[in-house]
Amino acid sequence: MKNVFIQLKSHYDNLKIKYKLFILVSWIMFVSLSFTFFGLQYAFQIYDEQIYSKSSQVLSTSSNSIESELKNLEEVTYNILTDPQIQQYLDSFSEDGTEYEKFSLRTKMMDKMLSYVNKEKYIQFVNLIDVYGKEYVVGPKSVKLNDQQIKYITGLAKAANGSTVWINPKNNDFTIAVTREIRQYRNLSFDNIGTIIIYVNMEKLVGDILEGSSKIDGEVLIKSNDDNLIFPKETSIPFKEIAKTLDTGYQIKKINQKNYFIVHIKSNYFDWSYLNVIPFNQIFENINKVKTFLIIIFILMFVVVSILGMRFAKSITSPLENLVAGMQYVKVGDFKEASREALKTSNSQDDEVGKLQQNFQTMIQQIDELIHENYSKQLTIKETEFKALQAQINPHFLYNTLESINWLAKGNGQTQISKMVEALGYLLRNSISLKKPLITIEEELNIIKNYIIIQKYRFEERLEFTMEVDSAMFGIEIPKLTLQPLVENAIHYALEPMIDPCNIRIYSIVTNEEVQLIIEDNGPGMDPDILEKLKRGEVKTRGQGVGLSNINDRIKLAYGEKYGVVIESTTGKGTKVIIAIPIGKEENHV
């Protein structure tokens, strides 16, 4: 092990300085990334516990509110069964009286039951069954029970001996019911004179309570102790798989290739439990974005620091390497090659390496001038001739080269490259040409079309471009490069910061006196302060150097002060740039 370490150290010592610096930077970045990664893991663990604490607290509060409302409905059952009018009517079956008197008592009893229902917004309907099996139903959603249901429920109420019994009727649209036996209180005989059943609208009750708890995420479920779903009736969450292995507290379970964050608490009053099930990705979506963002940042930092480190090392080692190479030529008396090697890199800094290189260059130059003065003059002449030849390269050579590339791309079936080269050639011809300061709207739109062709290959689906300019306006002349810089600004400031597709639209509005050319985008918009500075020309726009103030000034000089550029922008809603020019008025100058 020791020998391996010695070999590595020896190998490291013999490396060039730039490679040593690269290894050092890589090691520092690796250590930093490791510390950050483990720190994030620890922070995520704490975050899990905080989510559980908050979710459990909110779920506990919500469950207590639900159970408090249900307990209140137990009080309603007691108030109904002890109500004198209801007692009087139910007792009237065993007493003598006319049918009219009994009908009057039944009407009063139903009105009384209805008054209880109207006071409680979570009662779906109330069933009252007398000892003869006759059923009385009141409520917004009245449902009569069949004989089997009546027998089952009255049996549960009788077995409870006057206490309340909670039941979960099947196929009743998210309802549970509370039932209680009605006994005779008038003569204190406590004989059974009926059964009261109150159906609870659980969907409304739970919905209202959870709506008031804005901090709770995910879906709240209520299950019985035998793992049957009480609320809601249906759920997109795999409830059966979740209920199989469920512990009190919180846990993360993977079901059907999906992770779920589950908080589980048991009811202290009823034979059921409350669950808060949150899809794992819903919680950690932003955290995963932060993770990805940090990884990208570290990679970018590593690349940037490595490049800067290598450039820094190269700025030191390259002059030294050239000096060493130059000294080798000085040893054999070849001052020409020595000077050439020393001049390969120019270090203008005033540090030790810079001074060393400057002094060496001065020494070589002085010696070389004394020995090879004539050669230096000839070299200067050759350089001048070379620059003269270089200056002869004009835009026509560039156009011909692009045309050659275009034909080569077509010959190889590269239609995308061909289209981009054609668009680039068109843009170069129109940008470099100074013969025509004024062009028609149609020519300006053609420049934009070719510019968009190139940008489309760059941004693909993210760039949505539409052009709806009245063709009757195509012949009107405008200053060259009026619209294209504005489209370029829209791409820079609207499209590039966005993740979603950006819609850039050019359209026209024509009146009797003027035409408005409008460039509109749905980007992030501009802050009012920046917008004011932009209008005053205090903010420089990106692009070809043709700023908004420049375009505005040229239009005002050509057509008058009432025409020019107007900017409308709202933060989060996009930007609209309006160019107003007259119809049928010749330009004075641009």
**pLDDT single digits (tens) 184-227:** 876 677 778 888 888 888 778 877 887 765 445 667 788 777 77
| Region at 552 (left for phi over 0; alpha for psi -120 to 50; beta for the rest) | alpha
**Whole-number Å distance between alpha carbons of 393 and 400:** 11
Domain boundary among 207, 234, 268: 207
CA angle 238, 242, 246 (to 5 degrees): 170
Within a domain: 235: no
> What is the reported pLDDT for 393?
42
Q: How confident is the model over 526-575, as pLDDT tens digits? A: 888 887 877 666 666 554 445 677 788 888 888 888 888 999 988 888 99
> What is the reported pLDDT for 390?
40
Residue 190, burial from CB neighbour count under 10 angstroms (0-12, 13-18, 19+)? exposed
How many residues in total does the chain contain? 590
| Residue 481: CB atoms within 10 Å | 22
Tokens of 546: 């043709």
> What is the reported pLDDT for 540?
60
The domain that holds 172 is classified in CATH as 3.30.450.20
255 three-state secondary structure? strand
Domain boundary among 190, 207, 224: 207
pLDDT > 90: percent of the chain: 5
**Whole-number Å distance between alpha carbons of 277 and 260:** 7
Within a domain: 590: no
How many domains would you assign to the chain? Answer: 2
- In what helix (H) or strand (E) does residue 503 lie, and over which residues does it extend? strand 502-510
Within a domain: 191: yes
Expressed as residue numbers, the domain containing 155 is 82-207
Within a domain: 141: yes
- Whether pLDDT at 483 is above 60: yes
- Whether pLDDT at 254 is above 80: no
Within a domain: 334: no
Angle between the 202-211 and 17-81 helix axes, to the nearest 10 degrees?
130
More confident residue, 45 or 554: 554
**What residues are paired with 575 via a beta bridge?**
521, 569
Residues 157 and 179 sit within 8 Å (Cβ to Cβ): yes
DSSP state of 542: P
> What is the reported pLDDT for 166?
84
Q: How confident is the model over 163-188, as pLDDT tens digits? A: 888 887 655 455 688 888 888 876 67
Which residue, chain included where needed, has tokens 């589980």?
264
Q: How confident is the model over 105-119, as pLDDT tens digits? A: 778 888 888 888 888
**Whole-number Å distance between alpha carbons of 441 and 548:** 18
278 three-state secondary structure? strand
| Pairing, β 135-138 against β 123-130 | antiparallel
- Whether pLDDT at 15 is above 60: yes
- Whether pLDDT at 306 is above 60: yes
Give one DSSP letter per residue of 80-141, joined into a string.
HHT-HHHHHHHHGGGS---HHHHHHHHHHHHHHHHHHHHH-TTEEEEEEEETT--EEEESSS
Which residue, chain included where needed, has tokens 């663990």?
45
> What is the reported pLDDT for 274?
81
- pLDDT grade, residue 433 (50/70/90)? low
- pLDDT grade, residue 507 (50/70/90)? very high
Q: How confident is the model over 330-345, as pLDDT tens digits? A: 777 666 666 666 666 6
**Whole-number Å distance between alpha carbons of 249 and 263:** 6
- Whether pLDDT at 49 is above 90: no
Q: How confident is the model over 349-397, as pLDDT tens digits? A: 666 666 776 777 777 777 767 765 665 565 555 454 434 334 434 554 4
- Whether pLDDT at 451 is above 90: no
Within a domain: 253: no
Q: What is the mean pLDDT of the chain?
A: 75
> What is the reported pLDDT for 392?
39
**Whole-number Å distance between alpha carbons of 146 and 42:** 60
> What is the reported pLDDT for 509?
92
pLDDT > 70: percent of the chain: 72
Note the pTM of the prediction, 2 decimals. 0.41
Domain boundary among 141, 173, 207: 207
Within a domain: 496: yes
**Whole-number Å distance between alpha carbons of 424 and 452:** 10
Most confident of 37-41, 150-154, 293-297: 150-154
DSSP state of 234: -
First to last CA, the chain: 79
- Whether pLDDT at 432 is above 70: no
The domain that holds 549 is classified in CATH as 3.30.565.10
More confident residue, 505 or 527: 505
- pLDDT grade, residue 131 (50/70/90)? confident
> What is the reported pLDDT for 580?
93
More confident residue, 239 or 568: 568
Residue 350 one-letter amino acid = D
Within a domain: 22: no
